[in-house]
Amino acid sequence: MEPIDYENRIKELEKTVRILTKKLERSENDRTQLEEGGELKEYFLKSVIRELEESQSTLEKRTNELETTLKNLQALQAKLVESEKMSALGVMVAGIAHEINNPVSFIYGNLVHANNYFEDLLALLQLYQQYYPQPSLEIQKKIKTIELEFIVKDIDQIFKSMNMGAERISDIIKSLRNFSRLDEAKYKNVDIHQGIESTLVILNHRCKPTANLPKGIQIIRDYGKLPLIDCYPGQLNQVFMNIIANAIDALEENFNQNITLEGKHELTPFISISTQVANKNWAVIRITDNGKGIDETVHSRLFDPFFTTKEIGKGTGLGLAISYKIIVELHGGKLDCYSTPELGAEFVIKIPIQQS
């Protein structure tokens, strides 16, 4: 048996240990590099995620800013469009009132003289009949032909009717002038009942009986005792116009002759307007109709600019939005709507009696 060379064996083992040690060191270095690379990748990944989150936040902020700007632009556009429209309407109404007023004043002023002239002629005719009770045959035939006796009896009624008509036109002219106060830029103490009545005069033709509304639209007034209100009268008239016109639209749609709901034809479409003082400092105007009401799904968007439930060409979606701004922003008041589908709607306007 050969002797074991321990020395060489030890050297080989040492060599093997050195080789394994180097391999272990290389493996450790590789592991360290991998860990450092993973940490670096994780760092870069987190940085990218953080930048993406910041970009998303910035984008959302920018989007919100753009949406706000768009809403402001839409509101401004709505206000400009409505202001221009109402300004043009005011100028037109004022012009029409002025042009009509001159000939009506001429007619109304001369009716008194004409009536006096006819009374003088009738007195003279009575004298002729008194002193010449038996006129010639030709005169008797003429008296019979023109029905003189009826003329004498009817002439007084004719002049009364003509006076009533002239006074009615005069009242309409006053209402048109009152409504056309759209260029007044200052608060004024006014009787808002006059503004409501002016609006009703302008919309009166839409309340008369038609084929779709055989009974017409009944206007119910329940005016309380209000003091003079500190307000922009022209803009307030604009609100009355928008709300009452919308009520008429709702009634026309709800009571159309094509609607066959049981009992619907038995009802009379109406618009009720009531006023009162609340808490000594607020004037409250309620405008109620028994139309189709407002669906809950659109109720929250009722005062949004350009939102409308009407058919294309029949509504711009500006009326109530502008009305809301006039009441809330311009007068520091409140504008609310309460409605139950198929049972009508009620708009409640609250404005301070005195502006601070």
Condensed to tens digits (0 to 9), the pLDDT of residues 158-207 reads 888 888 888 778 777 776 666 665 445 567 888 999 889 988 888 888 88
pLDDT in tens, 299-350: 667 777 665 666 555 555 567 888 888 899 889 999 999 988 778 899 999 9
Among the CATH numbers 3.40.50.20, 3.30.70.260, 3.40.50.720, 3.30.565.10, which is that of 185-356? 3.30.565.10
pLDDT at 221 over 90: yes
pLDDT score for 244: 93
* Nearest-angstrom CA–CA distance, 226 and 191: 8
Give 145 or 266, the one with higher predicted confidence. Answer: 145
For the chain, give the percent of residues with pLDDT over 90.
15
Closest CA to 251 of 282, 288, 278: 288
> The tokens 């709800």 sit on which residue?
254
pLDDT score for 257: 45
pLDDT at 271 over 90: yes
Q: What is the pTM of this model?
A: 0.57
**Strand residues in the chain grouped as ranges (E):** 188-190, 218-222, 229-231, 270-278, 282-289, 334-339, 345-352
* Nearest-angstrom CA–CA distance, 271 and 241: 13
pLDDT score for 146: 87
Closest CA to 222 of 286, 165, 268, 173: 286
- Assign 258 a pLDDT band (cuts: 50, 70, 90): very low
pLDDT score for 49: 82
Identify whether the C-beta of residue 215 lies closer than 8 Å to the C-beta of residue 209: yes
Counting Cβ atoms within 10 Å, is residue 79 exposed (0-12), middle (13-18) or buried (19+)? middle
- Assign 53 a pLDDT band (cuts: 50, 70, 90): confident
CA distances from 153 to 115, 124, 149, 319 (A): 14, 16, 6, 52
Region label for 27, one of left (φ > 0), alpha (ψ between -120 and 50) or beta (otherwise): alpha
pLDDT score for 211: 79
> The tokens 């004037």 sit on which residue?
283
Phi, psi at 230, each rounded to 5°: -80, 105
* Lowest-confidence pick of 46-50, 94-98, 217-221, 231-235: 94-98
pLDDT at 139 over 90: no
pLDDT in tens, 71-91: 777 777 766 666 666 666 666
